Amino acid sequence: MDFIIKLLITAVVVMFTAWILPGIQIKNYWSAIIVAIILALLNIFVKPVMVFLTIPLTIITFGLFLFVINALIILLAGAIVSGFRVMGFWWALAFSIIISLISYILGTNNVPVIF
């Protein structure tokens, strides 16, 4: 049940962030829920591999490269979900930073659903 609530919170955060950033488009709330599910799956299965492969770069940048990894995951989610469009890498990076800040504020940054 806790996972479903966090998933719905992530969907709301995705909708809010898409509303703030003109380079991110989301079709409707159902697309946001699908994006939240895809982001959770990508964070569980793809992100650990990407983090492992870029450990030296992440250490050199004091962890800031994790935002780049998150942006790449967001771009991948945009390629998977038809109702979610990301206009480019920089918009994905901004999306990643905003999602990370909001998840930090909400205290949900320790779950794989939100960055």
- pLDDT at residue 77, as a whole number: 97
Give the pLDDT confidence of 71-81 residue by residue, as tens digits. 999 999 999 99
The region, left, alpha or beta by phi > 0 then psi within -120 to 50, assigned to residue 88 is left
Indicate the pTM of the whole model.
0.88
Domain range summary for the chain, segments of one domain joined by +: 2-106
DSSP state letters, 6-60: HHHHHHHHHHHHHHH-TTEEE--HHHHHHHHHHHHHHHHHTHHHHHHHTHHHHHH
Closest alpha carbon to 10 in 30, 32, 27: 32
Length of the chain: 115
Among 33-37, 40-44, 84-88, 107-111, the least confident range: 107-111
